[in-house]
Structure formats: C-alpha cells, structure tokens
Amino acid sequence: MNKKEVLEIRRQFSPENCAITRICGCYVDHEKEKKMEMKKAFLSLPEEEAFKYFDIFKHTLSGTIGKNLINMEFPLDQELNGGTQEFLMRLKDSKLQDDLLLEEFYDKVVESYEYGENYYIILIHAVYDVPGKTKDGLEMEDASDTVYEHILCSICPVNLTKAGLTYNAQTNNIEDRIRDWFVEAPVKGFLFPAFQDRATDVHNVLYYTKKPEELQPYFVEHVLGSTTPLTAGDQKTTFQAIVSDTLGEDSDYEVVRNIHDNLNEMIEQSKEEPEPLELSKTDVRKLLTRSGVAEEKLESFDDEFDETVGIHGTLLASNIASAKTFQIETPDVVVKVNPERADLVETRDIDGRRCLVIAIDDHLEVNGIEIH
C-alpha cells in the first residue's frame, strides 16, 4: 500500500464516513490472562466512545511507509488450509461473529505478543464501498465499482494513570486523584487484506509498529505468517556495510560524498510519486557506479547484496539515506555539515598529512563566540 491508499482508508474512521460494522475486544493482563472480552455492533457505541476508537484506528494507520507501516506478502504455503492467511480470511468472512474463531485469534496474539504489562486487543470488521474515479482523479460518490471488506487489529497498552492531585468541582477542593487504567495509543496492529490499487489484495497485509526497530518477529510469523523484513535501522546498517565492503581499503571521501548526494537527489526526484522509492540490487549497483565506484570494486557486490538483503530484496531509499545529516568522524573530532553543503568539505594532503579542509565564508563561531 502507498501513502494515498493508507490515507483513503484512514478517512473512513469518522462519523460521516464510518464503514465499521462490528467491534470486538479482549483485555489481557500482565500474566497473559484474558480478563475481559466484548463484541458489539460498532454503531451501537455511544458517540464519545466511538470517537476515541476512531483515534485508535487512525493511529494504527499512521507513520511512514517502510518504517511504521510495512507491506508484507504472505508466503504461498500460508494461503493453504491451516495457514495464517487462510485463517485471517475465515476471520474476515465471519464478520467477527464466530466466537470460536475470535478465541483462536486472541490466543494466537496472547501467545506470541511480547509485552510484560496489560494490553487491549481491538478487532474491527468494515465494508468500504470504494467510489469510482473520473479520469482526472475526482471521486464519484454514487458510482462505487468495488467493495473492500477488511479487518483491522490494534494492540494498545493499558497503564495506570499517574498519581497526583486534582480539583474536585463538586466539593470545591483539591484532592488526591483516583488512579485508573487508561487505554493508550496502539503500538502494534495490522490491516487485512491490503488495499492495493484501490482494491482488495488478499496476498498482502499492512503491518503497523509504533517503534520501527521493534517488529516482534515471532508475533509477525505466528499471527501473520510473514517473514520479518529488515527494520529501517537494519537497512541503513546493511547498506553502509555493503558500501564499506565494496570500497574496501581504497574508500575515498569524494566517492562516499557522491553516494550521499546522488541518493538524496534520487529521493528528491521521486517525492511526488505515490510509491516510496525502493532500490533493487541493480539500482544500488547503478548508484555506486554513478558515484565513482570502479567496476573492479563491484565484483563481490552481487553476492554480498544477495546474502544480506536477498536475491529479490530491496532497500527503501528513505531508510538508507541521511537526508538530514552529513557527519564526518575521526577518533577525536566530529564535524556535522549541512547535508546540502557537503561540497564545502574536502580531503587534502598537507605537509604529508591527510587533512580535512573546510571552506569558511563570512561567518565562524566557536562555542557561540564569533571569530573574526
């Protein structure tokens, strides 16, 4: 799913667009015991309560594609009888009215989700009549050409509110505040099936994680049946390792700076595209060649990329680029440069020593003191 498709589903979480038919929930304590379960028609909820659920569902479809929102494809074996995709299909098709399926789903989550405190599992079923669009992109509200039936799961921590004092309007007094259990914003969740090309895609699922570096591989494998992809941080580390190993001992500052500049230029050129820029092995090889890496240095590149990223694997450009920083480090000195002005820094041999040379224009400060 791309950003536009995610936003289109997010817009349904409002009173005027609501397509939710049913909501179910399970409250789990820190000992992994199911303490409470509920199931209701969503439209039967009080208005204020429904608004709070809308906020939770919007959070479950928030963040950056490739970091917080990750597209995952089901392996073929998971689409057979007994597979996770087949189970999720049955759960969706039941419209959350099969108690045995709900219990089995809750048990899968409780068994695989790693969290030492209380949490609340929320599951909704929705049916969205996807409006058609004219050639110039305008929606035709009365011309629905497809129906997108889906389930959305949100997993929310439940914590005690902080201790403190409060003003009691009834007694006109400052008193000790009563602490209660508060359902926080979700930290994990998923949307199934995926909404691709404004239509149902049962072969993919959109996974949400509040913290990109905490994907919980066992949960992903056990509940979604997917292979956990590299995290955003792992993608960046992997890319850096591939570049370092490819350049070897002959790594050159100018080449590394060129890679930085060219990568950010590619991101800038693709920013209007609906899909985030993904780099295949061929794309990364072209990037290195364009940046000045000699062909003989690329002899081991293919094997290393296949081993660390995968033969058909890709790297998200926004995950591996350093658009906001350009940092140069030695054992004793760290220099941070405006990434758009990396050209101000160069390496040069001076009196037999390798030196870093920084061009200075009109302004220079040291610890906040202007130098003339």
Q: What is the pLDDT of residues 24-69, one digit of tens each?
A: 999 999 999 999 999 999 999 999 999 999 999 999 999 999 899 9
pLDDT of 234 reads 92
DSSP-assigned beta bridge partners for residue 345: 358
Single pTM value for the model: 0.83
pLDDT at 143 over 60: no
Question: Do 168 and 126 sit in the same domain of this protein?
Answer: yes
Q: Please, what is the Cα angle at 369 between 367 and 372, to 5 degrees?
A: 130
Question: Do 98 and 189 sit in the same domain of this protein?
Answer: yes
pLDDT of 54 reads 97
Question: Do 102 and 52 sit in the same domain of this protein?
Answer: yes
User: Which of 321, 338, 353 is the C-terminal boundary of a domain?
Assistant: 321
Q: What is the pLDDT of residues 1-23, one digit of tens each?
A: 999 999 999 999 999 999 999 99
pLDDT at 326 over 90: no
pLDDT of 140 reads 62
Question: Do 16 and 127 sit in the same domain of this protein?
Answer: yes
User: Which of 172, 203, 224 is the C-terminal boundary of a domain?
Assistant: 224
Closest to 74 (Cα-Cα) out of 224, 277, 247, 191: 224
Question: Do 13 and 51 sit in the same domain of this protein?
Answer: yes
CA-CA distances (angstroms) from residue 8 to 189, 199, 241, 333? Answer: 18, 12, 38, 48
pLDDT of 161 reads 86
List of E strands, 50-172: 69-73, 119-133, 139-160, 165-168
- Say if residues 311 and 349 touch (Cβ distance below 8 Å): no
Which residues touch 152 (CB under 8 Å, ≥6 apart)?
A: 57, 60, 61, 123, 124, 126, 189, 190, 191, 192
Question: Do 188 and 249 sit in the same domain of this protein?
Answer: no
| Chain-centroid distance, C-alpha 187 | 11
Question: Average model confidence (pLDDT) for the chain?
Answer: 90
Q: What is the pLDDT of residues 180-194, one digit of tens each?
A: 899 999 999 999 999
Question: Do 116 and 38 sit in the same domain of this protein?
Answer: yes
Question: Do 48 and 65 sit in the same domain of this protein?
Answer: yes
pLDDT at 139 over 70: no
Domain that holds residue 40: 3-224
User: Which of 170, 194, 224 is the C-terminal boundary of a domain?
Assistant: 224
Question: Do 251 and 348 sit in the same domain of this protein?
Answer: no
Question: Do 253 and 312 sit in the same domain of this protein?
Answer: yes
Question: Do 310 and 328 sit in the same domain of this protein?
Answer: no
With cut-offs at 50, 70 and 90, classify the pLDDT of residue 141: low
For the record, the structure tokens of 160 come out as 């005690």
pLDDT of 138 reads 61
Question: Do 356 and 314 sit in the same domain of this protein?
Answer: no
pLDDT of 135 reads 58
**Domain count of the fold of the chain:** 3
